[in-house]
A and B are shown apart, each in its own frame.
Chain A
Amino acid sequence: MLIPVTDTAGAPFWEYADRGELRVQACGDCGVLRFPPRPCCPHCQSFASEWRPVSGRGRVWSFVVPHPPLLPDYAEQAPYNVVVVELAEDPGIRLVGNLVSGPGARLDSVDPARIRIGARVQAVFSGGLPQWVLA
């Protein structure tokens, strides 16, 4: 499985995820949340930032079900789902992830026929990656 190849701006997200915390970068001056993380605020151009805890509640914004050809570790679990979740705190902040039956479950552990845009989901963590379960 691919692990996140991170960068300076994105590293804190993964450090918090490793501790089971979902946090989103916010401007240290104007306070606007932004994702993906970046060096400065596109609204006020401030370089000050903070990592704000969020509830982990959200809704499915869209989803796909990939089929092979895929990289081997993913082909082995295909067809699986990939979801984009919009966060309850700010629907403009959307995270890509997988809807699973529980923390650490396989990518194909939820029947794609059960997934709907708008479904309420909750973040869980496994191995440093956020995952999503139906709320």
Chain B
Amino acid sequence: MAGPGFKDATAVVGIGQTAFAKHLPEDERTLACRAVLAALDDAGIAPGEVDAVASYTMEETDEVELAKAVGFGDLTFFSKVGYGGGGSCATVAHLAAAIAAGQATVGVAWRSRKRGSGPRPWTNTAVQLPTPAQWTRPFGLLRPADEIAMLTRRYMHEYGVTRDHLFNVALACRNRANQNPAAVMYERPLTREMYMTSRWISEPLCLYDNCLETDGALACVIVGRERARDCARQPVYVHAAAQGLPAQHHGMVNYWNDDPLTGPAWTAARHLWKHADITPDDVDVAQIYDAFTALIPLSLEGYGFCARGEGGAFTEQGALETGGRLPVNTGGGGLSEAYVHGFNLINEGVKQLRGTSTAQVPGAATCLVTAGEGVPTSALLLRS
């Protein structure tokens, strides 16, 4: 997606969010409106100036409802990205591409979800697509946790990844959440004993390997770099962006190709780094999609922070913590701040590059943000 005319051509100039909780009283549409208006207020841009929007195919509030509620102007670009959390970064990427190409001038991306108090999607057996569910669900492979646990067991078997490595991921996210008053787990520290003795969800994944179930909404505002200079906030530039759907990929049940552990991250990463002026060594902080702990070591490999099979070992010696080799998920991530299909990772990336994170990495100038690994994915390389 990045290329001539894309690099640093647009910037995130506003971010907004609602509270995060297991249950919020307002409906998803109201939460969407609140997050969008907060982001526009942060940017100092009036709703009537918005001419482009992007969200997820799983978003329940459509463009028409949002636009007429918050008072958008005439929209000339609107896009929705599929594959759940795999689409998070692509919402920003689509807007950045549209603005860079002259199709729009002010874009808003958002996600509003009541996953905390609403139904778990896997419990609805009526809407399951015949493919590939016919090959998995009759046998009791029912939930995303089961599907990713299957890949995790194989990953542990092939490369010696341990539960302690997965704990390192859970702990880093929880520690950052403990610094973030907006995080659901702000006042709930995690210990190794809690992790090792917690109940199983799908062995080898335990409770703390799974993300939160959260009500909440977030949004951000994207404009061209010229306009960005006039906005209230310091611009955070979209340096590069990519989507990734590898050849012969099968989603979370990626059991049917030659190398199931080489996921969409690898495809997105090749495009991202090809179009960037920087390398993984230059990344100051990363927000890595964490619906499940194992996705982080797999993503660290895919995005080139370590070699194949070294993602588990990479997490050792506090590497993911503040002051470590690569601080990750500095707001607490999906594991400990809020699970809103990864949109909080985008906004946290913006906060880091503004210097306003509750777990600020000193002098952070570059941030990788990734979307769901294990599904067709996307990624953003942001810089100040």
* Chain A interface residues (CB < 8 Å from chain B): 1-7, 9-10, 14, 35-36, 42, 61-67, 69-71, 74, 77, 79-80, 82, 84, 92-98, 107, 112, 117, 129
Q: Contacts A62-B150, A67-B203: A74 and B134 contacting too (C-beta < 8 A)?
A: no
Q: Is the CB of B142 within 8 A of A70?
A: yes
Q: Is the CB of A2 within 8 A of B125?
A: yes
- Chain A residues, CB < 8 A from B142: 66, 70-71, 74
Contact indicator per residue, chain B 200-220, by CB within 8 Å of chain A (1) or not (0)? 111110000000000000000
Q: Contacts A2-B125, A10-B131, A35-B256: A97 and B139 contacting too (C-beta < 8 A)?
A: yes
Q: Contacts A1-B138, A66-B142, A80-B140: A71 and B204 contacting too (C-beta < 8 A)?
A: no
Q: How far is the CA of A84 from the CA of B136 in the complex (A)?
A: 10
Q: Which of A7, A70, A92, A117 contacts B140 (CB 8 A)?
A: A70
Minimum CB distance partner of A9 in chain B? B131
Q: Which of B123, B125, B203, B248 contacts A64 (CB 8 A)?
A: B203
Q: Most chain-A Cβ atoms within 10 A of its Cβ — which of B128, B150, B248? A: B150
Q: Is the CB of B134 within 8 A of A7?
A: yes
Q: Is the CB of A96 within 8 A of B133?
A: no
Q: Which of B120, B132, B203 contacts A112 (CB 8 A)?
A: B203
Q: Is the CB of B153 within 8 A of A36?
A: no
Q: Is the CB of B141 within 8 A of A67?
A: no
Q: Is the CB of A64 within 8 A of B153?
A: yes
Minimum CB–CB distance for B343 against chain A, Å: 25
- Chain B residues, CB < 8 A from A96: 135-136, 139, 141, 253, 255
Q: Is the CB of B203 within 8 A of A117?
A: no
Q: Which 10 A-B pairs have the closest CB atoms?
A: A65-B203, A62-B154, A4-B134, A7-B130, A64-B149, A67-B200, A62-B153, A66-B202, A74-B140, A5-B130
Q: Contacts A1-B138, A10-B134, A92-B257: A82 and B146 contacting too (C-beta < 8 A)?
A: yes
Minimum CB–CB distance for A20 against chain B, Å: 17
Q: Contacts A62-B154, A94-B256: A36 and B137 contacting too (C-beta < 8 A)?
A: no
Q: List 6 A-B contacts (CB under 8 A).
A: A36-B250, A70-B142, A70-B143, A71-B125, A74-B142, A96-B139
- Chain B residues, CB < 8 A from A4: 134-135, 138
Residue B68 interfacial (CB < 8 Å)? no
Q: How far is the CA of A131 from the CA of B141 in the complex (A)?
A: 14
Q: Is the CB of A71 within 8 A of B157?
A: no
Q: Contacts A42-B248, A84-B150, A96-B253: A107 and B134 contacting too (C-beta < 8 A)?
A: no
Residue B298 interfacial (CB < 8 Å)? no
- Chain B residues, CB < 8 A from A1: 138
Minimum CB distance partner of B149 in chain A? A64
Beyond A63-B150, A66-B143, 11 additional pairs, beta carbon < 8 A? A5-B128, A36-B132, A36-B250, A61-B255, A62-B255, A66-B146, A67-B200, A71-B123, A77-B140, A107-B139, A117-B154
Minimum CB–CB distance for A16 against chain B, Å: 14
Minimum CB–CB distance for B255 against chain A, Å: 5
- Chain A residues, CB < 8 A from B201: 66-67
Residue B229 interfacial (CB < 8 Å)? no
Minimum CB–CB distance for A89 against chain B, Å: 14
Contact indicator per residue, chain B 98-121, by CB within 8 Å of chain A (1) or not (0)? 000000000000000000000010
Minimum CB–CB distance for A45 against chain B, Å: 14
Minimum CB–CB distance for B210 against chain A, Å: 11
Q: Most chain-B Cβ atoms within 10 A of its Cβ — which of A3, A35, A67, A77? A: A67
- Chain B residues, CB < 8 A from A64: 141, 146, 149-150, 153, 202-204
Q: Is the CB of A79 within 8 A of B125?
A: no
Q: How far is the CA of A6 from the CA of B204 in the complex (A)?
A: 30
Contact indicator per residue, chain B 244-255, by CB within 8 Å of chain A (1) or not (0)? 000010100101
Q: How far is the CA of A117 from the CA of B150 in the complex (A)?
A: 11
Q: How far is the CA of A7 from the CA of B141 in the complex (A)?
A: 19
Q: Is the CB of B138 within 8 A of A129?
A: yes
Minimum CB–CB distance for B159 against chain A, Å: 13
